[in-house]
Chain A
Amino acid sequence: MKKNKFTLLIIGVVTITGFWISWVSYNPADEKAMATFISVNELINNNISKRIKLGGLVKDGSIAISEANQLDCNFILKEGSSELYVKYDKTRPDLFKNGAEVIVAGRYTDGVFYADELQTKCASRYEGDLRNESSYNLIEVGQ
C-alpha cells in the first residue's frame, strides 16, 4: 500500500521534470540561452536568420578597431576557406588577436555577422599551442 504511494510519487516527479525540461528546451526565456552551431560556409549559403554560433580563426591582419570608440571592432572570421565579416562592440577577451581561435554567437544580417558573444580558447597551457602542435620554444644547440 505504502509502496504504491511512493512509486506514484516517483512517477510524478519524473513526469514533472520531463515536462519542465522539455518546455524550457523548446522555448527558453532568454534569447541567449541557445544557439545553433554551424559552419561559416553553411551560414553564408543558407542565409540563416536565427541565433547562430560559429567557430574559426581570426584572419591575420583583419582586426579593425574604430578610432572613435575602441570597443567597436570588426574582423574576418576564417573557417577553412570560408570567410565572414564580423562586428563586435563589447570588451574583447585578452587572447583575441591575429590567428586566435574564437567562437562567436549572434545573428547574420545583410552579409554581416553581428556578434553579441566572443570567446577565445583558454590559454594553451594543457596541450601546447593548438596551432603549433610540435613546436617548442627551443634554442637550437647545433646537431
Chain B
Amino acid sequence: MTPVAGSVSLSLALGFGLIAVLTLFIYTKNQDQRLFFVGQRLALGVSFFVFLATFILSYQLMISNFDIDYVARYTSIETPTIYKISALWAGQSGSLLFWLFILSIFSTITILQNQQKHYSLIPWVIISLTITQIFFLILTNYVTNPFKPTEADFIVANGNGLNPLLQNITMAIHPPTLYLGYVGFSVPFAFAISALINRDTSPLWIQSIRRWTLVAWLFLSMGIILGGWWAYQELGWGGYWAWDPVENASLMPWLTATAFIHSIIIQEKKDMLRLWNMVLIILTFALCIFGTFLTRSGVMSSVHSFTESSLGPIFLSFVFFILIASFGIMYSRLDDLKSPKKIESFTSRESGFLFNNMIFVVLCFAVFWGTLFPVISEAVRGYKITVGAPFFNQINTPIGLILLGLTGIGPLLAWRRTGTKNLIRKFTLPIIICFISIILFLLIGYKGYVVISFSLCIFVTTAILSEFYLGIRVRKNKFDESLHNALINMISKNRSRYGGYIVHLGIVFMFVGFTGHAFDREKEFSLQIGQVEHLAGYEFELLDLSESERPNHYAWISKIKVTDYQGQFITNLYPEKRVYFHNNPDVNRRQPHSELDIYSTLNKDIYSIFSSIDNQKQIAFLKIMINPLVRWVWIGGYILVFGTLIALWPRKEE
C-alpha cells in the first residue's frame, strides 16, 4: 500500500466525522430514528478509516519504506522488529495517529456496547467522542501528517534508525500505556456531558462508566509508574520522579481521576456530589488533552521537550473549547446538579469523600501552579522563574500526608454519622498503634516528616487490616466458614470495596518508599584498582577494570566489591561506561552512556554509576548512591495493579 492511501483514509475519516456530528445533532432535534442510525454508522466509519490509516502506517514501518519521512526518521533497516512496531508512537505525528487509533477503538466499543441501552444518552456520547476524533484528525491531516513524503532529491536507502539507548522494552511500553489512560477518560467524559445535556440525573450512567473509568485509571497509573521506573533504571540520576513538566502532565489528570473514582461511589449510592463529579470528570479529560499537549508540543523546556511546532496553539484551543463548552453546559444545568440529599455530619463517610475530593484538587492545583510557574512569572514579572523538585516537595509533602491520613480515616467512618460508640470502636486500635509508632520512631531518632509519614503508614495499614478482620469475622459467625473461605468469599462479594482497600495498601507501600528519600546518601570519587572508599557504613573496593568491544558499542567495565561495616561481603557491582557508535569517524556522533548497576534489597538500593575513566592512569570515576526503601515503591505499584484488577473482576450477573 502506498502512503497516499493512508493520507486519503485520514481525509475520509475527517469528512465522515464532520457529517456524523451534523447528522446526530439534527437527530437530537427532530428525533428521526433513521438519522440516528446513519449518524452512528458514520461514526463507525470514522473509526474504520482511522484503523485503515494506522494499519497502512504500521505496514510502511515494517517494510521500511523510506519514501515516507516518518519511517526514515525513526527506523532503519537494522532496527529490530519490535522497535519498528513501537516506532508507530515514537514520533509526534505517529503518536497522534496512535492516540486517534486508540480513541477509535474505544469509540467503536462504546457504540457497539450500548446498542441496547442508554438510547437517550448515546447520541451525545457519540457526538462528543467524534468531536475529539475530529480534533486529532485535523492535526494529522493538516498540521503533522504521518504520511508526509521524505524531502530528499535522492533515493533514501536507509533511515535514521532508533537510538540504541532508547531500544528497551520500557520505553516501548510507557507511551501506549499512558495513552490508553489519557484516551480512556474520553468515554466517561462523553457520558457525563451527555447526561448533563439530557438532564439525566439517574445514577445508571455512572454505573456504566465505572468500569471504563477504572480501566483508564489503571493504565494511567501503570504508565506513570513505568515512567518513574525507567527514569530510575536508565537515566542515571538516581531518582524516579523529578517533577518535570511532562511527569506533572501525567500526574495532574491522575489526581483528579482518583478523586472522581472515589466521588462517583457516593453518587451511585447516595446521589450526592453531583456537581463535584461533573467538575472532576471535565477537569480530568481536559487535563488529559493538556497532558498530551505538554508532552508533544515542546512548550515547556524540559528533559522531554521536543521541537516546537504549530501544534501548541491548536491543542490549547481544544483544551479551552472543552473547558468553556463543558462548564457552559454545566452552568445551564446547575439546578439538575443539586443533590436532593445533604451531607449530615462532619464525621460521616460522605464528608470524608468530600474532604478527599478537596485534597486531591488542592494537590492537583499545587502541581499545576508549580508546572506553570515559569509561564505565570514571565507574564507577571517579565522574566521566567523556574521551579525545581525541592519546590514541589516542600508544597506537596504535607498535602500528601494529609491524603495518606484520610486513606485510613475515610473507610472507618460510618454513613450519615459516626456515633461516638462507633468512633471509639473503629478508631481506638489504629490510633493507639499509631501513637506507639510515633514514640518508637522518635526514640530511634527519626524526625519530622519521616515520623509522621511512617506513623501514618502504620495507621492506615492497621485501619485496612481491621476492616478485613471485621469482615471475615462477620462471615465466620454468619456462615461458619473457614478463615480461608471467608476471606475469598468476602472479597469476591465486594470486589470494589476490598479491591480498593488493597489499592490503598499499595499506596501505603509507595509512601514508605517515598519516605526513604529522607535517608538518601551519595558520594562521587575516583578509584584505582585495589583502592577503597566508604559511604554510609559500606566499603567499596575497585577490584578490576576491563574493556570489551561489543556489536554496537564499546564498554569499560568496572568490578566493585561491596562489603558492610562488619566486613561481610554484600555483592559485586559492575557499572559500565559505554560508547555507542564508537567507530564513527565524527567524534561528535559518538554517544557515551553510563550503564548502571543497582543492587536492590527491601531496605535499600545501592546504585552505582561509572561516570568516566582515565585510561592512562587506569582510574575509574564513580558515583555511588544509597537509596533506601526504593523497592517499596515498585512493590506498592504491583499491589495497586492487583487491587484494581480485583475491583474490575466481572461479576457473573453482569
Contact = CB atoms under 8 A, between A and B. Distances in A.
Q: A and B touching (C-beta < 8 Å)?
A: yes
A18 B152 CA distance: 55
A21 B152 contact: no
B588 interface: yes
B425 to A, nearest CB: 25
B619 A70 contact: yes
Given A24-B394, A24-B395, A35-B388, A137 B303 contact: no
Contact of A121 (B166, B305, B386): B305
Contact of A2 (B74, B344, B611): B344
A81 interface: no
B387 A21 contact: no
A122 to B, nearest CB: 5
Nearest to B164: A123
A117 B386 CA distance: 13
A34 B385 contact: yes
Given A10-B358, A28-B394, A122 B304 contact: yes
Contacts of B422: none
A130 B150 CA distance: 17
A134 interface: yes
A136 B73 contact: yes
Interface in B143-160: 150-160
Given A33-B394, A37-B374, A136 B156 contact: yes
B593 A55 contact: no
Contact of A103 (B151, B301, B358, B614): B301
Contacts of B150: 136
Contact of B621 (A6, A13, A71, A143): A71
Query: Which residue, A65, A94, A98, A142, has most C-beta atoms of chain B within 10 A?
Result: A94
A143 B153 contact: yes
Given A34-B388, A133-B307, A91 B373 contact: no
Size range of the interface on B?
35 or more
Interface residues of A, number: 59
B37 interface: no
A126 B526 contact: no
Contact of A91 (B76, B390, B611): B611
B388 A91 contact: no
Interface in B566-607: 587-588, 591-594
Contact of B342 (A2, A91, A119, A133): A2
Interface string A101-123: 00101000000000001010111
Nearest to B296: A126
Contacts of B163: 123-125
B215 interface: no
Contact of B301 (A55, A69, A136): A55
B588 A136 contact: no
B154 A126 contact: no
Interface string B363-393: 0011001000110000000011111111100
Interface in B286-312: 298, 301, 303-307
B343 interface: yes
Given A32-B390, A117-B388, 8 more contacts: A21-B366, A24-B395, A32-B388, A34-B385, A34-B387, A121-B305, A125-B163, A143-B153
- Top 10 closest A-B pairs, CB basis? A30-B390, A33-B391, A37-B384, A33-B390, A127-B307, A91-B611, A139-B157, A127-B306, A126-B306, A141-B155
30 contacts: A17-B365, A21-B369, A24-B394, A30-B394, A32-B389, A33-B390, A35-B385, A35-B388, A36-B383, A37-B383, A37-B385, A53-B386, A65-B612, A70-B621, A91-B524, A94-B593, A97-B592, A121-B303, A123-B166, A125-B162, A127-B91, A127-B298, A133-B307, A136-B72, A137-B76, A138-B158, A138-B159, A139-B158, A140-B157, A142-B155
